[in-house]
Each structure stands twice: as C-alpha cells, then as structure tokens.
Amino acid sequence: MTVAAIREYIGVPRDSVENFGGKQIVYASWDRHLLFAAPFLLCLPPETPFRDLVAGPLTALVQADPDAVALDWTTVEWLKDNQPWAPDFDASLAANGIGHKDQLRFRTAGLNSLSAAA
C-alpha cells in the first residue's frame, strides 16, 4: 500500500518538470565542504552545456570557500545518483543524462581546508 486512505488515492507531485517553464532542477554539492550548509538547488534549461553549469553558477557559488581558488574542475571526481560518473563538459545536461532533480556531487581529494577528518 502506498498510502493509507479510505478509497483509491492518487497524489499529484508538486515538483514535476513541466512546472518549471522548460527548465529543470539540478542539485550540486561539493563533498566535505560544509561551509555550504546544503547542496545547491539550481534551475536550468536541460540544453545548458555542462561546461556552462560549472563555469557559471557553480563556480560563482563556491567562491566563499577558501579552497575555491585551488579548485581544478578538470581533476575533480564526480558522482551522480551517488555513483562515480564522468561528465562530458561539452555536452548538454540532457545529453549527459542529468535528469530533473538529479543530484551531482564532486570531490576534491586533499583539498579540504575547513573540514576536519571524520
């Protein structure tokens, strides 16, 4: 049973992709960089090149972290759906298989000024 109800009950999701005017939600976060309290929520057209996502909003948002200056996007490790994953920087979000509400994570081994070891 997917809900306790007195009769058949179908929920309508509030955050379906068609509600975002041709754009989609992408979540992105920098592992072990908790100066940023939660993953970023970005709203972008699916045809946005991955490179633009990185060079645009993502680069701007991470500037407050002292590691931002040493961040080399060509060497970071990526995860999508919590699994290792390699993006094509020149392809669009859609062509990279980044769907609505997908979570991207990136790791920078050895670069963690504000984070204590666990």
Partner 1 sequence: MDMKVAKKKLGLKEKYRALTRDLGWDTTYQPKDAVFPYVGYEGIKIHDWDKWEDPFRLTMDAYWKYQAEKERKFYAIIDAHAQNNGHLNLTDARYLSALKIFLQAISPAEYASHKGFARTGREFPGVGTQVACQMQAIDEIRHAQTQIHAMSNYNRYYNGFHAFADTRDRIWYTSVARSFFDDAMSAGPFEFMIAIGFSFEYVLTNLLFVPFMSGAAYNGDMATVTFGFSAQSDEARHMTLGLECIKFMLEQDPDNLPIVQNWIDKWFWRGFRVLGLVSTMMDYMLPKRVMSWREAWDIYGVENGGALFKDLARYGIKPPKGWDDAEKAIDHMSHQFMLGLYQWSFGTAFHSWIPSEEDMNWLSAKYPDTFDKYYRPRWKHIKKLADAGTPFKNYGLAKLCQTCQLPTVFTEPDDPTLTCHRQSVYKGQKYHFCSDGCQHVFDNEPEKYVQAWLPMPQLFQEPINGDLGAWMEWVSLRDGKDNGDYAGSEDQRNFEAWRGLATTNQ
Residues that bind partner 1 (CB under 8 A): 2-6, 9-16, 19-21, 23, 25, 27, 29, 31-32, 34-43, 57, 61, 64, 66, 81-82, 99-103, 105, 112, 114-118
Q: What are phi and psi of 25, to 5 degrees?
A: -90, 135
- CB nearer to partner 1: pick between 35 and 95: 35
In whole angstroms, the minimum distance from the beta carbon of 95 to partner 1 comes to: 19
In whole angstroms, the minimum distance from the beta carbon of 82 to partner 1 comes to: 6
- CB nearer to partner 1: pick between 1 and 90: 1
Cα–Cα distance, 33 to 31 (Å, whole number): 5
94: Cβ contacts below 8 Å, ≥ 6 apart = 46, 47
Six-digit token pair at 80?
């999508």
- CB nearer to partner 1: pick between 54 and 90: 54
In whole angstroms, the minimum distance from the beta carbon of 26 to partner 1 comes to: 10
- CB nearer to partner 1: pick between 95 and 103: 103
Alpha-carbon separation of residue 30 from 15, 50, 67, 94 (angstroms): 24, 16, 11, 21
Cα–Cα distance, 72 to 14 (Å, whole number): 37
